[in-house]
Amino acid sequence: MDFRKIEGIFLIVFIALDFFLFFSWQSNKTQVSSRTATTTPASFAQELREDNISIDSDQGTKRGSGYYLASRPNTDLQANAHKLMGQTVSLDSSQMTLISKLNDPFKVTAKNRKAVLQDWMKTSGNVLFANSYQYVPEVSDSSRAVFAQKVDGNLIMDSHGQLVFQIRSGWVTGYTQTYINDLIKLQEMDQTKSAQEAVMLLYTYSEIPTNSKILWEKLAYGWLLDAKGSTIYIPVWYVGIENRNTKVVSIKRVNAFTGAVLKSDNNNATASDSDD
């Protein structure tokens, strides 16, 4: 493969990303700073109580760090699909997705689901690149078990790198899979906001309704934009919020660099009956 061509592509992506980040930062900086400047953890907790909003999670105040990452489409799943056994496989080339229907579905329960699926994945011929995925209970529920891909130690909570098992009445019937084979760091490491700051920002922007419960916060990489054939990822705070009346859990996203609430997402943004 032509290294200079690849280098040129990512240079273009890097320049486009810089312009995008500059204008996004300018538009969000004033709003975020003005709305949160007068909010303290104590006053924030009081406001939550007044709105009947409780917190089940142990919100951290420590800030982390992360990068802007980029990936290119790959054909690794298509190239290795012939290695799979005991299943009918189809490929969605437009979404780079492998779709599997198991010839012999198997039974799982809410308690043993994680262990059974992990053991099944270890068997050769069942799942491609199985060691690259980690179970994510926060976004799994009674009808699907979600595994997120880890690339260079980074968890990707995004549909570009997911293994999702379909479960029907306790039976695993098949799965869909996407795969990222490489990530490029576009900029130097930068500081991220804390879990507590992410929740405060969601509340400030009226993204947490009254009579609800904050269940969890999780920091992972998520989709930001597509540019010149590449996909850009950033650190994102994913926050699970349960409606007390309906018990439906909605997942909100916050840009962990800028604090902006991310409205669009190419993932399923709602989970219910989530299990551990």
DSSP state of 96: T
Distance CA 215, CA 106 (A): 30
pLDDT per position as a tens digit, 2-58 = 555 555 555 556 555 655 554 454 445 444 544 454 566 677 888 899 999 998 877
- As a whole number of Å, the CA-based R_g of the chain is 20
pLDDT per position as a tens digit, 203-214 = 999 999 999 999
Q: Please, are residues 38 and 47 in contact by the beta-carbon 8 Å criterion? A: no
pLDDT per position as a tens digit, 61-115 = 889 899 999 999 999 999 999 999 999 999 997 778 999 999 999 999 999 999 9
- State both tokens at 189: 């490491």
What count of other Cβ atoms lies within 10 Å of the Cβ of residue 214? 22
Q: Say which range, 21-25, 77-81, 144-148, 163-167, has the weakest mean pLDDT.
A: 21-25
pLDDT per position as a tens digit, 262-275 = 986 544 444 545 45
Distance CA 267, CA 259 (A): 20
The pTM of this model reads 0.83
Of 154, 240, 148, nearest in space to 198 by CA? 240
What residue has token string 């926050």? 239
